[in-house]
Amino acid sequence: MRKITLLLTAISIVLVYSCSGDKKVADPDMQVVPVKLSDVTQNNFSRFVSASGKTEAEKSANLSTRMMGYVEKINVKAGQKVIAGQLMLSINSSDLSAKKAQAEAGIIQAKAAYENAEKDYERFVKLFHQQSASLKELDDMSTRFEVAKASLEGAKQMRNEVLSQFSYSNITAPFSGTVTNLFVKEGDMANPGMPLVSVEGASRMQVTAMISETDISSIKNGMPASVLVKSINKEVSGIVSELSQSSKNTGGQYLVKINLDKSEGILSGMFVNVKFPLDVKDESAHSSEMILIPEDVLVKQGQLNGVYTVDDGNVAILRWLRIGKKFGNQVQVLSGLRADEKYILSSDGKLFNGAKVSF
């Protein structure tokens, strides 16, 4: 009988502790910790469209050639600054030199024929007026003169075509910027259309982001945007400059470009988070309603993140949260905290779960 009584007593104790859970009861003699609470407006219950993107130079180009030939000389390196018109790469142009000589010879030949036909034409005009030549002879000589004139013009245009090819043997910078990549080495064969060198302008940076079809109607050209560069934890502002009206070639996402106001320290290819703030009165906007709280109020234990709230009895309660993206010094709360719920911003003493607080 005594053993049964002890067993029942043990079970009762276990049940009491199991039912109590993690609920903390404040000790009446516990020291009260002064705290500062957030206002409802400080919860940053925001309406905005968010997207991920990547930085890129506003000006960029992959330079190629229209001629075939061996790469003779490379004058730049990856990462080097260049100015507009600077020679970066040369392609062997011995074939073009031969064609140029042929074109020059053709011009000399055509010019001689033209001058001879011009003299004959002028002579037959005089003979016709003196009635010493027939109209048929004058017409034949006029035709010969026009043919010689056209042949000379054709020879000149052939020379111009050859000369224009020389511009493709010397690859120059189309604008001032930085060499980002070299696709060939000296001695390689360059083919028409094959990229040889890439250049990016150093003046301005922009962000390319993809927007879903449910949010694209809320994005307008000229609207402001907030861009967080993740790798350097830097937030900059920008303006929407381009807005695609089709997602045919982008996998159902719409391409949006944002010009950044400042680009110091930002390199091309950095990943970013973009926020497009919307008018809270715009009920037609398919925006995301997010709760943002300061990152420094988070209580971290291993992989867990929480925040202290206050119950009706002025007792601090540690609430575990599920957080999302970071925006500057703020983090997005996905669950665990309501938009109209206050949390503790700071305290004048050590907080713990169940501490008595005053504010």
Which CATH number do you get for residue 121? 1.10.287.470
If asked whether residues 326 and 352 sit together in one domain, one would say yes
If asked whether residues 78 and 33 sit together in one domain, one would say no
Segment 307-325 mean pLDDT = 89
Output 18 or 234, whichever has higher pLDDT. Answer: 234
Output 204 or 90, whichever has higher pLDDT. Answer: 90
Q: How far apart are CA 81 and CA 122, in angstroms?
A: 61
If asked whether residues 97 and 129 sit together in one domain, one would say yes
Q: How far apart are CA 170 and CA 90, in angstroms?
A: 5
If asked whether residues 223 and 262 sit together in one domain, one would say yes
pLDDT confidence of residue 156 = 92
Segment 332-359 mean pLDDT = 87
pLDDT confidence of residue 43 = 57
Q: What CATH number does residue 230 fall under?
A: 2.40.30.170
Tokens 């010009």 identify what position? 259
For residue 42, pLDDT beyond 70: no
Domain assignment present for 17: no
Cα three-residue angle 136-142-148, rounded to 5 degrees: 140
Q: Residue 255's beta-bridge partner residues?
A: 210
**Residue 339 — very low, low, confident or very high, per pLDDT cuts 50/70/90?**
confident
Domain assignment present for 209: yes
If asked whether residues 114 and 128 sit together in one domain, one would say yes
Q: Residue 229's beta-bridge partner residues?
A: 234, 272
- Among 233, 263, 286, the domain boundary falls at 286
Question: Distance of alpha carbon 244 from its chain centroid, rounded?
Answer: 14
For residue 17, pLDDT beyond 80: no
Q: How far apart are CA 289 and CA 286, in angstroms?
A: 9
- In the sheet with 344-347, reading across from the earlier edge strand, the strands are 344-347, 33-37, 357-358
pLDDT confidence of residue 44 = 57
Cβ-contact 203, 59 below 8 angstroms = yes
Q: Looking at the 3D structure of the chain, how many domains does it have?
A: 3
Q: What CATH number does residue 344 fall under?
A: 2.40.420.20
If asked whether residues 119 and 223 sit together in one domain, one would say no
Domain assignment present for 185: no
Output 23 or 122, whichever has higher pLDDT. Answer: 122
Averaged pLDDT of the chain? 83
**Nearest Cα residue to 222 out of 254, 255, 259, 247:** 259
Question: Distance of alpha carbon 28 from its chain centroid, rounded?
Answer: 59
If asked whether residues 260 and 223 sit together in one domain, one would say yes
Domain assignment present for 16: no
For residue 325, pLDDT beyond 80: no
Specify the 3-state DSSP secondary structure of 303.
Answer: coil
If asked whether residues 257 and 333 sit together in one domain, one would say no
- Among 240, 268, 286, the domain boundary falls at 286
Domain assignment present for 14: no
Give the burial string for 117-156 (b: 16+ CB within 10 Å, else e).
beebbeebeeebeeeebeeeebeebeebbeebbebbeebe
Q: How far apart are CA 349 and CA 212, in angstroms?
A: 46
Domain assignment present for 223: yes
pLDDT confidence of residue 248 = 83
If asked whether residues 278 and 318 sit together in one domain, one would say no
For residue 343, pLDDT beyond 80: yes
Domain assignment present for 172: yes
Per-residue pLDDT tens digits for 47-98 = 778 888 999 988 889 999 888 889 999 999 998 999 999 999 999 888 888 8
Rg from Cα positions in the chain = 39
If asked whether residues 262 and 276 sit together in one domain, one would say yes
If asked whether residues 254 and 319 sit together in one domain, one would say no
Per-residue pLDDT tens digits for 159-201 = 998 888 887 888 999 999 999 999 999 999 998 889 999 999 8
For residue 257, pLDDT beyond 90: yes
Q: How far apart are CA 243 and CA 215, in angstroms?
A: 12
- Among 286, 307, 335, the domain boundary falls at 286
If asked whether residues 220 and 325 sit together in one domain, one would say no
Cβ-contact 199, 80 below 8 angstroms = no
Domain assignment present for 7: no
Q: Residue 333's beta-bridge partner residues?
A: 291, 323
For residue 4, pLDDT beyond 80: no
List the domain range (segments joined by +) for residue 328.
22-38+290-358
